[in-house]
Amino acid sequence: MTITFLGHSTFHIKLDNGKGLLIDPWVAQNPVCPDELKKNIGTADFPVDYILISHGHFDHIADAVSIAKAHGDAPVITNYEIAHWLGQKGVSTENLKGMNFGGALQFEGFKLSYVKAVHTSGIMEEDGSVTYGGEPGGFVIQETGGTCLYYSGDTALTMDMQLTAELYQPNLAILPIGDLYTMDPRAAAMACKFLACQAVIPCHYGTFPILTGTPEQLKEELAKLGLNTKVIVLQPGDITSYSNSMGER
């Protein structure tokens, strides 16, 4: 798979079959997403065939409605409550795939599971009220014959990651390290231990000064645990190809 980092927690994944997944669409207003990339999302290089939403906070959902409407055939996969909310906002209900924990969906070339996160999921409305956004989650993307990617979404460290490791054996994890709202680098290193993943892409840091964790700290914490998990550091706009052989331990 080919992974493009749009900045903060937003990723585009291009599977080996050419299908594109946009995860946690915070694009137009994302202060760290390069303008060039904002323009290119949805073009042939960055197709939007599926839209995945981990939870209801603005930095994960801000452009969900407009992008879902612009890509009318793309399934939008999220939890049950956010799917309902998107329908209320005018997204075609035919495309909404509201999931819950324990379930999976099979698509062309990949299987998608929704797994628990320890976080919150309220959706901030324009009038300042908060709509219940169900339980926050993460995704396991099992590419047929390819990489198994765990995108945790915003989460604290949780023992559930050991279950995720046992059930899915992810090769690669995308984990938040910024602290305050999510894991810090030390907890993220422990998550790598739980997950037994070969490689990790840190995210959800540096966007705002309050998100203080750094990839360097993650590397230090992994070393303290005696882990040789490969840390793939991406700047907003960076594109990387990942295959399972890259993360050999």
Point out which residues bind Ni ion (CB under 5 A).
57, 154
Read off φ and ψ for residue 23, nearest 5 degrees: -110, 125
Residue 25, SS3 per DSSP? coil
Burial (CB < 10 A; 0-12, 13-18, 19+), residue 160, is middle
Q: What is the number of other CB atoms lying within 10 angstroms of the CB of residue 174?
A: 28
Pattern 26-65, Mn ion, x by CB under 5 A: -------------------------------x-x------
Q: What residue 19 binds from Mn ion, Ni ion, none (CB within 5 to 8 A, per partner kind)?
A: none
Q: Which is nearer to Ni ion, 60 or 186 (CB)?
A: 60
Residue 135 in contact with Mn ion, rule: CB under 5 A: no
| Part in contact with Mn ion (CB under 5 A); list of ranges 20-28, 148-156, 208-216, 233-241 | 148-156
User: Per-residue DSSP letters for 5-45?
Assistant: EEETTEEEEE-TTS-EEEES---TT-TTS-HHHHHHTTSTT
Q: Which is nearer to Mn ion, 21 or 61 (CB)?
A: 61
Q: What residue 186 binds from Ni ion, Mn ion, none (CB within 5 to 8 A, per partner kind)?
A: none
Q: Which is nearer to Mn ion, 47 or 136 (CB)?
A: 136
Q: CA–CA separation, 59 vs 55, rounded Å?
A: 9
Q: What residue 63 binds from Ni ion, Mn ion, none (CB within 5 to 8 A, per partner kind)?
A: none
For the bound state, the minimum distance from the C-beta of residue 181 to Ni ion, rounded and expressed in Å, comes to: 6
Closest CA to 59 of 27, 99, 19: 27
Q: What residue 179 binds from Mn ion, Ni ion, none (CB within 5 to 8 A, per partner kind)?
A: none
